[in-house]
Amino acid sequence: MTDKNAQDETITWQTGHCYLGEVLVARTPGGVCAVLPGETPEELVTELAVRFPSATLEHANNSRVEWFTDVMSYLIDSRKPLSVHLDLRGTDFQCRVWRALREIPSGSSASYGEIAQRMGMPTASRAVAGACAANPLAVVVPCHRVLRSDGSLSGYRWGVKRKQSVLSHEQGLSER
């Protein structure tokens, strides 16, 4: 999904490494707009450019910028509050789903159907899954916490192996 709203906008990005592999965090003047895990920084910058084709991408070139360190700290321990503002860009429905996902506590999970129920749209579980797949903010908007109704893992935009890794990491945090 590309975001046509980034016309003539500068998006600042920085990459780092954690248990998810390489991670790119990007920020607009409105807040963090992308958290993308992957294999290489180059792959992640390409993904960011595809998502925001009309934006000017600028490397922060400083791993200590506050918004970057806050997101990386959250990736390590998602029980901590996230202090940066998020710039959620999607349809009204996607943004509603993403806000609902942020209410699922670290170490917990919900089904696509449960999220649809909470939103007052009990037949929208497939649409919820679609919104999860479009999520550009890995872990920060916790689509990894959404499972099939039988509790099994389903697809994950960044791979089922990475989804299992995030869930296991959060489970370990909640057991401390």
The position carrying tokens 């999904």 is 1
Strand partners, 26: 13, 34
The single residue of 18, 33, 95, 143 carrying the catalytic annotation is: 143
Is-contact 130 155, C-beta < 8 A? no
Six token digits for residue 85: 């503002």
**In angstroms, rounded to a whole number, what is the distance separating the alpha carbons of residues 57 and 59?**
7
The answer to whether 143 is a known catalytic residue is: yes
Buried b (16+ CB within 10 A) or exposed e, 81-100: eeebebbbbbeeebebbbeb
Catalytic residues: 143
